[in-house]
Structure 1
Amino acid sequence: MRTPAWLLCLTLLTFAIGTDDFVIAGVLPDVAEDLDVSQAAAGQLVTAFSVTYAVAAPVMAVLTARLPRRTVMIAGMLMFAVLNALAGLAPNYPALMACRILAAITASMMTPAAFATAATLSGPERMGRAMGTVATGLTLSLVAGVPVGTWLGGTFGWRSTMAFVVVLSLVVALGLALFMPPLERGPALTLRQRLAPLSGGAVLVTLVAMVPAASGGLMAFVYIAPIAESLSGASPDELAVLIAAIGVAGIAGAALGGRGADRFGPERTVALSLGVQTAATLTLTLLGWLWTGRVPIVLAGAVLACWQIGGWAFNSPIQTRMLRVAGPSGTEALALNTSAMYLGIAVAGMVGGAALSGAGATGVLVASVLFAVLGMLVFALSFRFFPSADPAAAPERVRT
């Protein structure tokens, strides 16, 4: 079945946002030298974007709840383009930091709207598949967007990287204006009515489960360089190939997760995807303990590919579940889910760093397994006591 143009535009939206979030990491030395700051200070541009996004997402979802989603995304991408253009012209570090923070706030109001819109326009029978397609934009940003932006930065200077994001943003805004169909208006709800489902057990327990699950799933990625070096003695070139390969696996995982959510339901797909990822992480741990000598890079890569497939297959079904249990607060619930995920990433960085210092790369993998198992247990409780609505139930209607 042919992918509709509006769905491709939403996928490109997440691609642009994901690229902007992480591409600074690829041009840190250039930014640091040009703005006369340390690389550690330049690295805070990535941290500031991620933290701001996590904090702002639920706030912006509430503030824009009454606004037409099509307008929010088009205007948001135009503002995103302007802010990245200003970032490319920034004369100093404080100005660049301010642009990054404002860009993160702008991005935080668009991604939940994009996923909710995909769910609405696709219909309940293809909801997971549509959101899985949108999620591939985030994965593709790591595989293609960041490398392209890094190459541009290395060839023409880091400011050209910002120009790349500007072009992407303008293309998305134009595509949405041309191809996004009219959307049915949702019910006019008060702020109290809109927030009420967010205080229910179904949403809260799912958010609690999301933090350790995200930590366990992403800890190995945060520290993939020392893990690959410890297990297989991977060189920088081999590491680059390895990251690209597991990125492709992540794209496949995002698509499989969407299809699984539609066919088997979000709960079963979440359980399966987390199970695959946890099993792969445990396998890496056992290889680190039991394998004599270096683990062949091909074997380590194959296990990491399975790990990445499970991790990205998790994204779409958990968002499908959120839309079902949150009712008219679907977009706000997706925003909170994003915040919980980013909190999990922060925990992964801190705990993984402590594990790496205390027990090496294998310690990181052990910590990752423990967090993943904890997430699976809390999700199991959530599914047991707060099952989602019937699959035929329509998702939140998104305002025009």
Structure 2
Amino acid sequence: MSQTVVNSRQGLPFRAALPMLCFLTLAFWLGFLARILMGPLMVPITRDLAASNTEAGGFVLLVGLGATVGLLSSGFISRFLTHRLTISLALLGMGVGALLSGTADTLFAFQASLFAMGAGAGLYLPSAISVITSLTRRADWGKALSVHEAAPNVAFIVAPLFAEFMVETHDWRSAFTVLGAASLVAGALFALRGPGKGERGEAPSPSLLADIVRRPVFWIMSLLFGIAVGATLGPYTMLPLYLVEERGMSREAANMLLAVSRVSGVFMSFVGGMCADRFGPRRTIVVYLALAGLFTMLLGLTEGVWLTAAVLLQPLVSTTFFPAGFSMISRGMPFQARGVAVGFITPMGALIGSGAIPLGLGWCGDHIGFGAGFVMQGALMLVCLLAAWRLPRRDVEE
């Protein structure tokens, strides 16, 4: 089967590629908003479905499991459909999952819809990263990826505000219904006008997989992606329950603080991309782990104004990892292996970061307190500095 690929060294300058980057970013934003919306809606969802804190953490795990299925199958699908149609299919899948979430009337039905939504989301990322790194010059990868990473950071701000608006005017189910419909429209538009036409993914052949897994960067980045996803999604999904149940804050105040805390992420994503270009992804990741680990621990160790400060500071650095992380994968893997590497690294990250960590925090909330969970999560990030030091210092294609 033929494969159309643009050589990464001959990609477009950043400004020339920006319109298509914005189109991809819009698609990412819609899909990510649908995935994280349950965080600020967690209080009414758990009350309506009579779910425990552990089951609430399990909601995030199910999205992660679905994403793992989507990620692992993305190479096969993008090889058959092209990257453009794979991204379109991902948006359509997330839209259907969100619509099902809005109509679920039992705990099991809601859990099944989250798995479906995660499966759609999992298809998106490998194709998107492949399109971005073929669309832009290598020297601009950090900036291009930081534009793309603005999508989840804006979604983190919009989600609590949108959730509060929908709960006050309608109910939590309507929020999923609106986003599901928007994702379906975006999927149809992307199939017609999105980038990646004619570009096909690489199915994970045994020889290609063997080349990927023999590289230490694969295993290190799998771990670090899990830790980074957990640092972003873990506190975000569990903070409303933590602030309401253990710190006596109202749901409205908790969601407003959650929204304000994510404003910095929009700008820090670009800072992370520029740091990856200027200082290298390895150094950027090391600094990220040190600062994010410290601020995550402070979530569980502080109260009052200091807790508010910690809630604001933790997202300030938690978003800086991803431009550097994707740049590290792209630099540490041959061109033909990048999409497959992302397709295998990110599911491990999803299982750890959007599965095990939120589930663990939920268990802590039921048994020893959310605060203790945040302290242990931050300490784990500091331990992972040992792994980050072993990341390669040179580009694999130099």
Give the TM interval when normalised to the shorter protein: 0.7 to 0.9
Q: Is the 8 A contact 1:209 1:375 kept in 2?
A: yes
Match of 1:257 in 2: 272
Deviations 1:201-248 (A, max 9, x none): 221232234445555666554553576689987554443332112111
1:74 deviation in Å?
A: 2.0
For 1:350 and 1:166, locate their aligned partners in 2 and report how far apart those are by CA, in whole Å. Answer: 25
1:119 deviation in Å?
A: 2.6
SS at match of 1:66: helix
TM-score normalised by the chain length of structure 2: 0.78
Matched, 1:50 2:59: no
Matched, 1:247 2:290: no
Match of 2:376 in 1: 367
Match of 1:387 in 2: 393
Deviations 1:188-212 (A, max 9, x none): 7771243233212221232234445
For 1:254 and 1:362, locate their aligned partners in 2 and report how far apart those are by CA, in whole Å. Answer: 27
Deviations 1:299-353 (A, max 9, x none): 5434443321211101111111112223222122223332233233333335545
1:268 deviation in Å?
A: 1.4
Shift in alpha-carbon separation, 1:123–1:26, aligned structure 2, 3 A: same
Q: Is the 8 A contact 2:299 2:374 kept in 1?
A: yes
For 1:363 and 1:4, locate their aligned partners in 2 and report how far apart those are by CA, in whole Å. Answer: 43
Match of 1:38 in 2: 50
For 1:379 and 1:6, locate their aligned partners in 2 and report how far apart those are by CA, in whole Å. Answer: 32
Q: Is the 8 A contact 1:210 1:337 kept in 2?
A: yes
Aligned letter for 1:273?
A: Y
1:121 deviation in Å?
A: 1.4
Within the candidate set 206, 209, 230, 1:195 is matched to 209
Match of 1:274 in 2: 289
1:144 deviation in Å?
A: 0.6
Deviations 1:255-274 (A, max 9, x none): 21122212222111111222
Within the candidate set 33, 36, 39, 1:22 is matched to 36
Deviations 1:95-149 (A, max 9, x none): 5554443332122101232233223212211112222222221122221135314
For 2:364 and 2:184, locate their aligned partners in 1 and report how far apart those are by CA, in whole Å. Answer: 43
Aligned letter for 2:219?
A: L
Aligned letter for 2:22?
A: L
Q: Is the 8 A contact 1:321 1:388 kept in 2?
A: no
For 1:28 and 1:39, locate their aligned partners in 2 and report how far apart those are by CA, in whole Å. Answer: 10
Which segment is superposed worse, 148-157 or 353-362? 353-362
Matched, 1:306 2:329: no
Shift in alpha-carbon separation, 1:128–1:87, aligned structure 2, 3 A: same
Match of 1:151 in 2: 165
Q: Is the 8 A contact 2:76 2:202 kept in 1?
A: no
Q: Which runs of 5+ in 2 are unaligned?
A: 1-14
Q: Is the 8 A contact 2:64 2:350 kept in 1?
A: yes
Match of 2:7 in 1: none
Aligned letter for 2:263?
A: V
Matched, 1:316 2:323: yes
For 2:381 and 2:138, locate their aligned partners in 1 and report how far apart those are by CA, in whole Å. Answer: 29
Aligned letter for 1:276?
A: L
For 1:114 and 1:355, locate their aligned partners in 2 and report how far apart those are by CA, in whole Å. Answer: 35
Give me the CA root mean square deviation: 3.8
Aligned letter for 1:60?
A: S
Q: Is the 8 A contact 1:249 1:308 kept in 2?
A: yes
Q: Is the 8 A contact 2:160 2:256 kept in 1?
A: no
Match of 2:350 in 1: 342
Q: How does 1:136-215 map to 2 (within 5 A)?
A: 136-177=150-191, 179-181=193-195, 185=199, 191-200=205-214, 201-212=216-227, 214-215=229-230
Q: Which runs of 5+ in 1 are unaligned?
A: 289-293, 394-400
TM-score normalised by the chain length of structure 1: 0.78
Shift in alpha-carbon separation, 1:180–1:95, aligned structure 2, 3 A: same
Deviations 1:343-373 (A, max 9, x none): 3333333554566677656533431332011
For 2:106 and 2:320, locate their aligned partners in 1 and report how far apart those are by CA, in whole Å. Answer: 40
Counting aligned pairs with the same residue, the percent is 17
Shift in alpha-carbon separation, 1:23–1:220, aligned structure 2, 3 A: closer
Q: Is the 8 A contact 1:213 1:374 kept in 2?
A: no
Within the candidate set 73, 77, 87, 1:64 is matched to 77
Aligned letter for 1:308?
A: P
1:151 deviation in Å?
A: 2.6
Match of 1:74 in 2: 88
1:159 deviation in Å?
A: 4.4
Q: Is the 8 A contact 1:222 1:348 kept in 2?
A: no
SS at match of 1:387: coil
Which segment is superposed worse, 274-283 or 107-116? 274-283
Aligned letter for 1:387?
A: R
For 1:300 and 1:137, locate their aligned partners in 2 and report how far apart those are by CA, in whole Å. Answer: 27
1:39 deviation in Å?
A: 3.8
Shift in alpha-carbon separation, 1:378–1:230, aligned structure 2, 3 A: farther
For 1:378 and 1:32, locate their aligned partners in 2 and report how far apart those are by CA, in whole Å. Answer: 37
